[in-house]
Amino acid sequence: MPGQRIGYVRVSSFDQNPERQLENISVNKIFTDKASGKDTKRPELEALLAFAREGDVVVVHSMDRLARNLDDLRRLVQMLTKRGIRIEFVKEGLHFTGEDSPMANLLLSVMGAFAEFERALIRERQREGIALAKKRGAYRGRKKALSPEQVADLRQRAAAGDQKAALAREFGISRETLYQYLRTVD
């Protein structure tokens, strides 16, 4: 019995349209992440890896949607193919089965290296843009999640013994952000 065709889609931000990536591609199930490709710690990617079975085909629009890091890309492709799962990259027209030719492995490495290079260029341009904006006085960083009054209330309640997880939920912040507010002194 042939396996399922499983789609994987990743967009970097919530305002991007994920539908275009596998438009007109027949799949039985799609996993969609709205997260950066900087690493493989993505909930839908992890769900796909747990879901996929031997004989399945994982279909991804392009290599940079699966990983922006050559090591991660190779590791994911090898992990899937070792389990008998075929992987297809639509844009590049490449298919990997685990019994790939040296040319296919070269193309995986070259295309993966370009994705990694592109991510490095994006980070470099971002750093340059921030540095220029700081010089102009136009960059002040991310807006604080809480007002000074809310921070004072948060610290007072935490000192009084209120549960930190409950405080984080009430203030609409992560626990890590809560701990950062508790650590910093104004």
Give dist(CA 181, CA 165) in Å, integer: 14
Whole-Å CA distances, 106 to 71, 103, 118, 134, 146: 14, 5, 18, 42, 50
Active site residue 36: no
Beta bridge partners of 10: 33
> Pairing state of beta strands 57-60 and 86-89?
parallel
Give dist(CA 7, CA 30) in Å, integer: 4
Q: Which residues are catalytic?
A: 12
